[in-house]
Structure 1
Amino acid sequence: MKKILLLKGFSLVSLLLLTVIALGASKTETVLADKKTVTITAATGGEPKPFTYVNSKNQLTGHNIELLKAIFKKLPQYKLKIEKAKFESIFSGLSSDRYQIGVNNFAKNAEREKNYLFTDPIFKNSYVVVYPKESQLAKTVKSWSDLEGLSTVGATGVNTTTAIEAYNKANPNHKIDFNYSAEDLASQLRSIENGKYDFLLMDKPMFDYYQKEFHFDLEAKAVSGTLKKELLPEPYSYLIVSKDNDALVKDINKALKEVVDEGTSKKINLKYFGTDYSPTYD
């Protein structure tokens, strides 16, 4: 009888232990589930080079792409996926949350700020006016009026295109002759070189990169005066993030600061531009 009672007691203890183990396992599974990585999809237009482009191995690369990957190496809670998309569809994709990040050397403007979130700056920018050598048309670039009546070319959605559109809208009687084009930047620069258009307003780092590669017969003059102030109220580019992803922005900003502080951002800048365009943070 005593033996039977001992066996029953042992069975009861075993049952309790199994129950505790099962509950523990269930709790562990719940914790692991809570720590499951979240997939973040970033979209890029795949140009302009060297900020974002497709290399000879058909892989997306460039300054912005390498910087984005360096940021997400510090964010194991996310799985980063990068897709190439038509430039204009990046914005509709962000609005629908098909994409959570837009990465394409984006500047801020009022319209974008109404519809999307922005990270801290990823790149400190500057602009130049590019024109054919010996041209007298764009020698002085201290104000928009210095470019009035001159012809230029650009793609939709680009920072400089947006700025010229805003100027033309505000000054309908003193417009810049703007021509939309889907050509790549190298082709646009050739059209300035051969005299098809008078000037091109563009990022200085990008011009330096293309000039080094193609040796165009062109000159570049830094914007100054009121034009610099109006064109560059915030001389930076950013990652754009879809609405209601404030936690993602916070995580990116923390990792971005680490990437800048440890020198990874500088290394990427030197690789593509030979100069460090990393922003500084207080």
Structure 2
Amino acid sequence: MKRNHYLFVSLFLLAAGTLGGCSSKEATSATGDQVILVGTQNDYPPFAFADDNNELTGYDIEVVKAIDEKLDGYEFEFVAVPWDSMFLALESNKIQAIADQVAKTPERQAKYLFTDESYFAAETVIAVKSGREDIQTVEDLEGKAVGALAGDSYTLLLEEYNETAKTPIDLKYSESGNPSEILQDVQNGRVDAYVNDPIMIDAVLEKNDLGVEIVGQPLVNDDMGIVLKNGEQGEELKALVDPILEQLKQDGTLAKLSNKWTGGEYIPE
């Protein structure tokens, strides 16, 4: 079995040029493997977050590690990147892949390279202050203040809704880029609601003991894929990673990891 080293690299090192100026073909590990820098958030439990030892962990992290165990010639190292900088880091080659619950939307697939195989099936729900009864559907959000993160699939859904809405949703874009802070804003009444993944929401609510609850039915369902840097190396990696993801799905590894981190099997068919 190949020897793996997992590195938690802070973004300021990339910005300073320590790693940002070299391609992964130029970066090799001690074993001679090509290093692929994988961007992910450090505050999106239970998928990608920093634990008490400040090490990245979570479902997405362990999926990538499971892929790396079966992939010779490459070594994955994790880079903590804020969501609003994630795709810019990919485009500028500061990272060569993203594993961060990225939904495979048509717009993103037209611009970025996704694995054909998805590794998680996510829902989109509405969260409001506990006891609030006037919001159940996306139509109920019209004219109300809703917390948002620029560029994520949940915000894009609401932005698209606003294009035809009689009364647009008042999207309040977070400066911190931190979902837990938006959920605190929901509890404190600074915004009326937040739209995101129910598993992440439940994890944050439990950790922070917030008076927020999920209401109504899921708005949409999305399949999540690994995003790779466009180009020859990305295409090469995609051809190698897709069969491994399929294998991890068939042998039950993804289901096992999903149960471990989310309490259920949310694996695309």
More strand per residue: 2
2:46 matches 1:57: no
Alpha carbons of structure 1 residues 208 and 45: separation in structure 2 relative to 1, 3 Å: closer
What corresponds to 2:35 in structure 1? Answer: 39
2:223 matches 1:236: yes
Shift of the alpha carbon at 1:70?
0.7
What corresponds to 2:93 in structure 1? Answer: 97
2:171 matches 1:174: no
What corresponds to 1:191 in structure 2? Answer: 185
2:41 matches 1:48: no
What corresponds to 2:250 in structure 1? Answer: 261
- Map 1:115-154 onto structure 2 (within 5 A): 115-119=111-115, 120-138=117-135, 140-141=136-137, 144-154=138-148
* CA–CA distance in structure 2, aligned partners of residues 183 and 80 of structure 1: 25
Q: Which amino acid aligns with 1:196?
A: R
Gaps of 5+ in 2: 1-31
Query: TM-score normalised to the size of structure 1?
Result: 0.76
Q: Which amino acid aligns with 1:214?
A: N
Runs of 4+ more than 6 Å apart: none
Q: Is the 8 A contact 2:83 2:177 kept in 1?
A: no
Q: Is the partner of 2:157 in helix, strand or coil?
A: helix
Shift of the alpha carbon at 1:105?
0.8
What corresponds to 2:14 in structure 1? Answer: none
- Root-mean-square deviation (CA, aligned residues, Å) is 2.1
* CA–CA distance in structure 2, aligned partners of residues 154 and 129 of structure 1: 12
What corresponds to 1:246 in structure 2? Answer: 235
* CA–CA distance in structure 2, aligned partners of residues 259 and 71 of structure 1: 8
Shift of the alpha carbon at 1:237?
1.4
Alpha carbons of structure 1 residues 216 and 98: separation in structure 2 relative to 1, 3 Å: closer
What corresponds to 2:212 in structure 1? Answer: 218
Identical-pair percentage: 26
Shift of the alpha carbon at 1:66?
1.0
* CA–CA distance in structure 1, aligned partners of residues 179 and 84 of structure 2: 17
What corresponds to 1:161 in structure 2? Answer: 155
2:202 matches 1:208: yes
Q: Is the partner of 1:40 in helix, strand or coil?
A: strand
* CA–CA distance in structure 1, aligned partners of residues 83 and 126 of structure 2: 24
Q: Is the partner of 1:197 in helix, strand or coil?
A: coil
More helix per residue: 1
Q: Is the 8 A contact 1:95 1:115 kept in 2?
A: no
Query: TM-score normalised to the size of structure 2?
Result: 0.79
Q: Is the partner of 1:82 in helix, strand or coil?
A: strand
Bigger Rg, structure 1 or 2: 1
Q: Pick the aligned partner of 1:111 from 107, 111, 133.
A: 107
Alpha carbons of structure 1 residues 89 and 185: separation in structure 2 relative to 1, 3 Å: closer
Q: Is the 8 A contact 1:47 1:104 kept in 2?
A: no
Cα deviations by residue, 1:167-218 (Å, 9 ceiling, x for unpaired): 22x1365210110111532222222122221111111111222233334323
Alpha carbons of structure 1 residues 46 and 171: separation in structure 2 relative to 1, 3 Å: same
Alpha carbons of structure 1 residues 211 and 85: separation in structure 2 relative to 1, 3 Å: closer
Q: Is the 8 A contact 1:137 1:198 kept in 2?
A: no
